[in-house]
């Protein structure tokens, strides 16, 4: 049976990916950060769709160990922060978060753990429409760097570059994704099919 591990499983995209994997009969493990204030709720929700929950901390050794035990065929990297969350983390929790530490840093940690622990697995990275080398937009710049490092990592991969992913249940305005979409398809572009680059 195909096995998948989903980082960013609690996000708008991740939740749907976990559901879809389960619908397709793929054994799915949803990663939830261990300090999530909604951990119990996530356990319940993911159990209902038939997924397991993994609460490995975002640290290299433990993440490598977890992937080594799970040996997933597919590793989904679907995480990222927003400007609103950066502000909130700094103001209410005193934590310094950024696109650099979350979107790049945690995804890179996951990529390194994948290469070390399950090099036969395929890394599926949710990047963004509008990504290009030399971009001065910090949201796009970290994705360009990660894409480049992913290409050089030697692991099999898929890069999806969606525009604005949304639906009737979308509660946030997501300005960074709207800007990226505008750069690619015009200011009112709301969604578009993922563009998928060939895997190595």
Contacting positions for ligand NAP (CB under 6 A) = 8, 10-14, 33, 36, 58, 78-81, 97, 102-103, 106, 126, 128, 162, 164-165, 174, 177
Q: Which is nearer to ligand NAP, 151 or 195 (CB)?
A: 195
Q: Which is nearer to ligand NAP, 19 or 174 (CB)?
A: 174
CB of 97 to ligand NAP, least distance (A): 5
CB of 50 to ligand NAP, least distance (A): 19
CB of 60 to ligand NAP, least distance (A): 14
The 10 Å Cβ neighbour count of residue 82 is: 19
* CA dist., res. 10 & res. 7, Å (int): 8
Q: Which is nearer to ligand NAP, 78 or 141 (CB)?
A: 78
* CA dist., res. 111 & res. 131, Å (int): 19
CB of 102 to ligand NAP, least distance (A): 5
**Lookup result for tokens 């030697």:** 154
CB 143 within 8 A of CB 128: yes
**Beta-carbon contacts of residue 101 (< 8 Å; ≥ 6 apart):** none
The 10 Å Cβ neighbour count of residue 7 is: 27
Q: Which is nearer to ligand NAP, 126 or 155 (CB)?
A: 126
Q: In 34-62, which positions are buried (b, 16+ CB within 10 angstroms) versus exposed (e)?
A: eeeeeeeebbebbeeeebebbebebeeee
| Direct distance between the N- and C-terminal alpha carbons of the chain, in angstroms, rounded to an integer | 23
Q: Which is nearer to ligand NAP, 12 or 43 (CB)?
A: 12
Q: Which is nearer to ligand NAP, 1 or 171 (CB)?
A: 171
CB of 147 to ligand NAP, least distance (A): 12
3-state class (DSSP) for residue 152: helix
CB of 103 to ligand NAP, least distance (A): 5
């Amino acid at each position: 049976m195909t096995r998948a591990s989903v980082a960013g499983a609690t996000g708008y995209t991740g939740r749907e990916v976990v559901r879809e994997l389960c619908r397709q009969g793929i054994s799915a493990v949803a990663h939830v950060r261990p300090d999530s204030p909604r951990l119990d709720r996530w356990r319940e929700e993911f159990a209902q769709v038939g997924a397991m929950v993994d609460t490995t901390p975002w640290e290299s050794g433990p993440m490598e160990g977890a992937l080594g035990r799970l040996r997933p065929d597919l590793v989904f990297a679907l995480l990222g922060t927003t400007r609103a969350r950066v502000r909130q983390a700094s103001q209410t929790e005193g934590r310094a978060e950024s696109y650099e530490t979350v979107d790049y840093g945690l995804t890179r940690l996951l990529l390194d753990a994948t290469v070390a622990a399950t090099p036969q697995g395929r890394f599926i990275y949710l990047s963004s429409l509008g990504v290009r080398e030399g971009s001065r937009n910090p949201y796009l710049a970290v994705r360009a760097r990660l894409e480049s490092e992913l290409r050089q990592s030697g692991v099999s991969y898929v890069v999806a570059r969606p525009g604005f992913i949304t639906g009737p249940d979308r509660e946030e305005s997501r300005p960074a994704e709207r800007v990226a979409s505008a750069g690619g398809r015009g200011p009112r572009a709301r969604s578009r099919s993922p563009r998928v680059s060939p895997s190595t």
